[in-house]
Structure 1
Amino acid sequence: MGETVDTTLIDNHNIKVIKNGVVAKEENYEDEWAPPDGGTKSWLVMIGSFFCNGILFGVINSYSVLYIKFCAILDEQNVTDASGKAALVGSLAIGSVFFVSPVSGYLTDFAGIRITTFAGGLIASSGMLISSFCTDNYVALYFTYGIMYGLGGSLAYTPSLAVLGHYFKKYLGIVNGIVTAGSSAFTISMPYIISALIERCGIEWTLRVLSFMSCFIMVFAFLFKPIKRTVKPKKVSFKDAFNVEIFRNTKYVVWAGTIAISLCGYFVPYVYMKKYVLNVFGEDADGMLPVLCIGIMSGVGRLIFGFIADHPKVNRIFLQQIAFLFIGVSTILLPLTRGSYPMLIVLTLCLGLFDGCFISILGPIAFDICGSSGGTQAIGFVLGLCSIPLTIGPYIAGVIYERTGSYTLPLILSGIPPIVGSVAMFLTRCLDPPIKLGDPSSQRLNKENGKSEELGIHDGDGHL
C-alpha cells in the first residue's frame, strides 16, 4: 500500500506534507499570500487606490448634475424620450465599468496590475476629452462618455482593488473601506465642482477638466507593483491567466447571481436624484444635498463596516444581506418624502450608509469565497455580471418617467430588486466553497461554517 497524505502543516507560508504521521520533505508550492500589512509602500498603494476610486466614481456618481444639462440639450433638439436617452449616457458609463470587469481581471493577471491601470486611465481621460467636442450628439456620447470612459474606468478599478490583496490581509476589510471611501469623498465635492464649472465655463470645458483629473489615474498606476513571493517559479501563460475554477465554485456563482439581481435599480437614485428634488420640492430646494448625504454616509459606512467585516466572527455575506435590505427599503420610501425635505435627507443618509457597507465588503467576500488565486478575476466577473442591470435600470426608469410624469413608480420598482437579492443570498449558506490549503481567505469562510476541524486544517503549531 502506498503512502497516504494525512494532513498539512502551514508554517510561515511554507507548506509541509505530513505522511503517515511524519513530516515529509517540504513541497515546493507557489506562495501567493505574503502581504506585509503595513509599511510605506503599502500605505502609498492604499492612497493611490483611494484616488483612483475617487476620481472614477466621483464623476460617475455625480452624473445627476451632468444629466440635467444633457437632458436640456436634447429637449432643445426636440429629441423623443430625452430623459431616458440622457440617462443612458451615464448608465452606459457605470455599466461599461462593470461589463468590462471580467476582461479587466483577466488583463490584470496576464498583463499586470500597473499596465492595466495605466491603460484604463489613458482610455478614460481620452473618452472624456472627446466627449467635450460632441456634447450635442447623444449617440456619440454613448460611445465617448458611456463606453470609453466606462471601459477605462473598469481597467483601472479592478486592479486598484486587486492590488490591495497583495499588500494587506489582516486589515484588508478596513483598507477596502478606506479605498472605496475615495468615491464617497469625491462624490461629496464633485457635484458642486461640476455645477460651478458648468455655470462658469460651460459643459465643454467641464468635461475637459474632468478629463485632466482622470489623467492622474495613470500617475497612480506606477505605485501598483504587486507582491508575489514564490517558492517555486511558475511561468504564467495566456491560457493559465483565465481562471475557470471560480465558475466551478457553486457558492461564488450563487453569490454573484444574487448581487446582479440586487443591483437592478441601484444606480437610479444617483441619476435622477437632483431632478427628482427639483420636481417635488421646487427650484429653491437644494438638489445636490441628497447626493452629498449619500456620498458622506457611504464613506462613513465603508469605514465602519470595513472595520466590522475584519472581525473573525462576522459573516460578511450576512452583513451584505442586511445592506441590500436597507438599500431596497430606503429606495422604496423615497417617493413618500413628498412635502418633507428632512425625511428625504434621512432616507438618503440611510441609503448612503448601507451603500458603503455593500461596496466595502465586495472585494473581501470575493477573496473569501475564491481564495487569493481566484480573487482578482472573481471581482471582475461579478462586476461584469452586474453591468446589464446597472445599464438598463436608469434607462427604464427614464422611460417610465416620460410615460407617467412622476418618479414614484420608477423609485418603487428600483427598491424591489435589492430586497429580493437580500433574501435570495440565504442560498449561499447551504453551500461551501472549495477550501485551499495555505490560503487563509478560503479557510476564513469555511471556519464561519464550522468546517475547519472537519477538513483537518492545522495551524502553524500543528493544532486544529
Structure 2
Amino acid sequence: MSATTTTAATEYGLEDLRSSALDSQSRWSTLRQTRAGRLEDTTRLTDPDPALEASRLADSTVPDGGYGWVIVMACAVVAFWNIGISYCWGVYQGALVERGVGSPLVLSFCGSLSPALMSVVALFAAWAMRSLGTRKMALAGVAMNSVSQIGAGFVADSAVGLFFLPGILLGVGMSAGFMAISLAPAQYFKRKRGLANGIVYAGGGLGGAVMSIAANAMIEQYGVKWAFRITGIALAVTGLPAAWLIVERTPIQATGLVDWTLFRQPNFGILFLVGLVGVFPLFVPPFFIPLYGRSMGLSSSTGAAVLAGFNFSSAIGRILSGYLCDILGSLNTLSMFLIINALSMIALWPASTSLAPLVVFAILNGLTNGGVFATMPTVVGNVFGSARVSTAMGMIVTGWVFGYLFGAPIAGSLLEAYGGTEVGLHAYRPAMFYAGSVTLIATALAALMRARINKKPLAKV
C-alpha cells in the first residue's frame, strides 16, 4: 500500500513536473514569438524611407562649395529675370492703367497669370526635368521668358495680347526656370544649403529692384512697347549663358509625376497649405505700391523707386533668411518671417499716409516677403530629403496656383469696390487687411508644423 502510494505519488509528481515544464516551454515559446513579433513590428515601423536614405547618401558627399558656387551664381542670374520680371509688373501696370489699356483689376489679373501658370505646369516641369536635366530646362525657361517680353512689345495695347505673352508664355518659362534653380543648389550644398538658396533667390529680389527702376526709365524714355523689347533682349543675352552653366551633380531620381506617399505625412500636407494660403497676399504689395503712391500724390518715378526699395529689401531678405535657416532652422525662420510680414500689412501699411512710413513699410515687407518663399526649398530639402526636392517642390508649387491667380485680383476687386484709386487712400485698406489676415493664417499653419516636429520653443527646427 505504501509502495503503491509512493509510486503513484512519484508518478503524479513527475507528470506534474512534465506538465509544468511543457507549460513553461510553451509560455517561453510564446514569449519568444511575441518578442520576435514586437521586434519585427519595431523594425517595420523604423524601416528607413528610401528617399530619405538616398538623400542622406547623396548629402554625405556634397562638396558644400567648389563648382557649387558657380551653380549658385548662375541660378541667381536666372532668378534675376525669372522673379524680377514678375515683381516689377506694378510699374508696367501703372503705366498701362494710365494709358487706358485696362483697369487695375484686369491688369493685376494679367500680372498674376504668369506666376499662376508657373504653378499649374510645375509638376510637368519637374517631370520633364528628370528626363532633360537642369541645363536644358533652364535654357528653355530663359528662351521662353525672352520671347514673351519681346512679343509683349508688339501687343502692349491689348490686354488680351498681354494675357498670352507676358501671361501664359512667361508663366511656362518661369516654371521651367524655377524648377532648375530650386533643384541644382540642393545637390551641391548641405551645411550651407540655406545660404546657397538665399543667394539664388536674392538674385530675384535684386532683379525686381533693378527692373523696377529700369522699366520706369525705359517707359518714360522709349515707351511701354520698347521697354518690353529691350527687357527681352537683355534677358536672352545674360540669361542663356548662365543657364548653360547649370548642371546637376548627381542623376535626378526617376519618380512619377506625383509622389502621393508624401501626403501620408501630415507635415507635408501642412506645408502644402502654408504655401497655398501664403501665396494669396504675395503680390499685393509689389503690384499696388506704385498705384498707392500715385493716389498719395507721388510721381511715377518716386513710386517706382519705392517699389525698387521693396525689391532690394526682398533680395536682402532672401540672403538673410538663408543665413538664418542655417543658424535657427528653416521652420523657425519661415514662421518668424511670416508673422512679421502679416503685421506689416495689418498695422504699418494702413498708417503709411506719407512717403517716409511708406518707405519703411516697403523695406520691412519686402525683407520678409522675399525671405518667406526663399525658405521653402530649404524646408523641403531639410524635412523631406534632397532626393525629393524636385517632386516635392513641384507638388507644393502647384498648390500656389490659386493664390498666384486670384490673390492680387482679389485686392484689386476690393480696391474697386471701395471707390478705386481716385477716392483716396482709405479705399486701399480693405485690400491691406485682407492680405495681412491671410498671411496670419499661413503663420498659424507654419507654427503648427514646427510644433509637430519639435515642441521645444528654442530648438533648431
3-state SS of 1:407 partner:
helix
Q: Report what 2:28 is aligned to.
A: none
CA deviations 1:360-395 (Å, max 9, x no partner) are 321110112211221122122212211211221111
Q: Which has the higher helix share?
A: 2
Residues 369-378 or 94-103, more deviating = 94-103
- SS of 2:223's partner is helix
Contact 2:338 2:439 in 1 (8 A): yes
Find the partner of 2:324 among 308, 317, 330. Answer: 308
In structure 2, give the amino acid aligned to 1:286.
Answer: T
**Deviation of 1:98 (Å):** 2.8
Q: Is the contact between residue 188 and residue 249 of structure 2 (CA under 8 Å) also seen in structure 1?
A: yes
Q: Answer yes or no: is 1:339 the counterpart of 2:349.
A: no
Q: Is the 8 A contact 1:54 1:182 kept in 2?
A: yes
Partner SS for 1:185: helix
* Alignment deviations for residues 55-97 of structure 1 (CA, whole Å, 9 cap, x no partner): 121111011110012223335xxx6xx1211111111122222
> Is the counterpart of residue 189 in structure 1 residue 210 in structure 2?
yes
Deviations 1:135-155 (A, max 9, x none): 111112111111111110110
- Inter-CA distance 29–185: structure 2 relative to 1 (3 Å threshold): closer
Shift of 1:281: 3.4
Q: Tell me the CA shift for residue 103 of structure 1.
A: 2.1
1:343 Cα deviation after fit: 1.2
Q: Contact 1:101 / 1:380 at 8 angstroms: preserved in 2? A: yes
Q: Which residue of 1 aligns with 2:107?
A: 86
Using the TM superposition, give the Cα deviation of residue 275 of structure 1 relative to its aligned residue in structure 2, in angstroms.
Answer: 1.1
1:109 pairs, out of 118, 130, 140, with 130
Query: Is 2:260 the counterpart of 1:244?
Result: yes
- The DSSP-based 3-state class of the residue aligned with 1:226 is coil
| C-alpha separation in 1, matches of 2:235 and 2:334 | 30
The question of 1:219 aligning with 2:246 is answered no
Cα distance change of structure 1 residues 176 and 236 upon mapping to structure 2, 3 Å threshold: closer
**How far is 1:448 from its partner?**
5.5
Instruction: Identify the range of structure 1 (281-290 vs 359-368) with the bigger mean alpha-carbon deviation.
Output: 281-290
> Structure 2: how far apart are the matches of 1:213 and 1:150?
19
**Which blocks of at least 5 consecutive residues in structure 2 are unaligned?**
1-32, 44-49, 421-426
Task: Confirm or deny that 1:65 pairs with 2:91.
Answer: yes
Match for residue 366 of structure 2? 352
Residue 294 of structure 2 corresponds to 278
Q: Give CA deviations for 1:266-294 in whole Å, capped at 9, x if unaligned.
A: 21111111110110234488112321221
List aligned pairs for 1:366-405, cutoff 5 A: 366-404=380-418, 405=420
* Seq. identity, %: 20
Deviation string for 1:251-272 (max 9, x for gaps)?
Answer: 1111111221122112111111
Question: Quick check: 1:136 aligned with 2:157?
Answer: yes
Structure whose CA Rg is larger: 2
Find the aligned partners of 2:182 and 2:329 in 1 and give their Cα distance: 21
Matched-pair contact (CA < 8 Å) for 1:174–1:306: yes
Shift of 1:356: 3.1
Equivalences for 1:24-35 in 2 at 5 Å? 31-33=57-59, 34-35=61-62
Aligned partner of 1:43: which letter? W
The alignment covers a number of residue pairs equal to: 404
Please give the alpha-carbon distance, in whole angstroms, between the structure 2 residues aligned to 1:87 and 1:283: 20
In 1, the alpha carbon distance for the partners of 2:54 and 2:440 equals: 47
Q: What is the distance in 1 between the residues matched to 2:137 and 2:333?
A: 31
- Equivalent AA in structure 1 for residue 416 of structure 2: E
Instruction: Name the CA distance, whole Å, in 2 between partners of 1:399 and 1:255.
Output: 28
Change in CA separation of 1:144 and 1:427 when aligned onto 2, cut-off 3 Å = same
User: 1:56 matched to which residue of 2?
Assistant: 82
Aligned residue type for 1:253:
G
Q: For the Cα contact (< 8 Å) 2:55–2:385, is it kept in 1?
A: no
Q: Look up the equivalent residue of 1:331 and give its one-letter code.
A: M
Give the partner amino acid of 2:85.
V
With over 3 angstroms needed to count, the CA separation of the structure-2 counterparts of 1:266 and 1:202, relative to structure 1, is same
2:337 to 315, 323, 347: 323
Distance 1:370 1:245 in 2: 11
Once the two structures are TM-superposed, the CA of residue 333 in structure 1 deviates from its matched residue by 3.0
Gaps of 5+ in 1: 8-14, 16-26, 230-234, 434-446, 450-464
Distance 1:236 1:390, change over 3 A: closer
Hey, what's the Cα distance between the residues in 1 that align with 2:431 and 2:184?
Answer: 37
What secondary structure sits across from 2:447 in the alignment? helix
2:231 maps to 1:210? yes
Distance 2:114 2:361 in 1: 26
Q: Which one-letter code corresponds to 2:90 in the other structure?
A: S
Is 2:282 the partner of 1:266? yes
Residues in 1 aligned to 2:100 and 2:413: alpha-carbon distance in whole angstroms: 15
Q: Secondary structure at the match of 1:224?
A: coil
CA distance in 2, matches of 1:179, 1:139: 33
TM superposition shift of 1:118: 1.4
